[in-house]
Amino acid sequence: AARPLWLGGPGHCLLAPPAQYIGGLQVLVRSLLAGTTPAALHAPGFRPDDFAEAAAPLLALDGPRYTALVPTQLGRLLDAGGAGLAAARAFDAIVIGAAATTAGLRERAAEAGVKIVPAYGMSETASGCVYEGVPLDGVHVELEDERVHITGDVLSHGYRLRPDLTAESFEGGRFRTSDRGRWTADGRLEILGRVDDMINTGGVKVAAAAVERILTAQPGIRDACVVGVPDPEWGEAVVALVVGAGCDVDSLRAACREEAGAAAAPKRVEFAEELPLRGPGKVDRTAVRNLLRRS
């Protein structure tokens, strides 16, 4: 369904995500439906030069060319420039999933001439079921206290050998996600973050994702993770681990305070070369929290 609506018809695909994850599996499914053989990125990890090398044979073919990346991979291509970025520009569309695509990253991609299609979905929905904030035909999204609920034929029947989790998340043909969202003025779904990523600091609830969006919109900041850590005065203190250079901590805190209120200003900001990840491009918040608790 996503192919004709958002990707422009059948084409050739580069398998960049690991095939054992639903995003990688869907690249294989798109190739099967198109009757084409996908190219594959076999090198461990993700390096822009390896991406360019894997993409080269596919980009020499006629017809539309597609791939799927996570935001971290897209960011690395934009940072590196060179052959990797040139290859990214040559794709007719790059589906971005597994984690939220920040406004800053979208702007950078547009300025670089990289055509991206942000997607929202998960294994329980057979990968992306919302593209550019618009649910696919047959997919219905509801928000209850900001929590995203999904119905449609894309849903799985539950979790194998886990009837407890199935009963908790699936009811009456509806899937209860752990994500928070809102409808934009033009009727598109915007994911705000995880339900369990709210930080209660001094009795005020702060959405970690909202603070992250403010931080990544600041000059020089490429990525950010905001968590709550135990604090004797505040109960939980808002702290941030950011990736970037040439940034003034006071300016970052001031931006958060101005846009989201005093409680949202991180009590501490630490810098790192990269954020710790788990799975296909998802930030490992537990690792970040443990790191910031020790520092």
Q: What is the pLDDT of residues 103-150, one digit of tens each?
A: 888 999 999 999 999 999 999 999 999 999 999 999 999 999 999 999
CATH topology of domain 194-294: GMP Synthetase; Chain A, domain 3 (3.30.300)
- Give me the residue spans of the domains in the chain: 2-122, 134-192, 194-294
Per-residue buried b or exposed e for 17-27, using 16+ beta carbons within 10 Å of the residue's own CB: beeebbbbbbb
Q: Dihedral of the CA atoms 267, 271, 274, 279 (nearest 10)?
A: -20
- For 145, the 3-state DSSP assignment is coil
CATH topology of domain 2-122: Rossmann fold (3.40.50)
Contact 127, 120 (CB under 8 A): no
Contact 68, 26 (CB under 8 A): yes
**Angle formed by the axes of helices 71-80 and 82-90, nearest 10°:** 120
CATH topology of domain 134-192: Luciferase; domain 3 (2.30.38)
Give the span between the Cα atoms of 20 and 82, in whole angstroms. 29
Closest by CA position to 83, among listed 51, 107, 112: 51
Instruction: Summarize pLDDT for 157-202 with one digit per residue, the tens.
Output: 999 999 999 999 999 899 999 999 999 999 999 988 888 888 999 9
Share of the chain above pLDDT 90, in %: 71
The size of the chain, in residues, is 295
- For 241, the 3-state DSSP assignment is strand
- Highest-pLDDT range among 79-88, 201-210, 242-251: 79-88
The pTM assigned to this predicted structure is: 0.80
Q: What pLDDT does residue 6 have?
A: 60
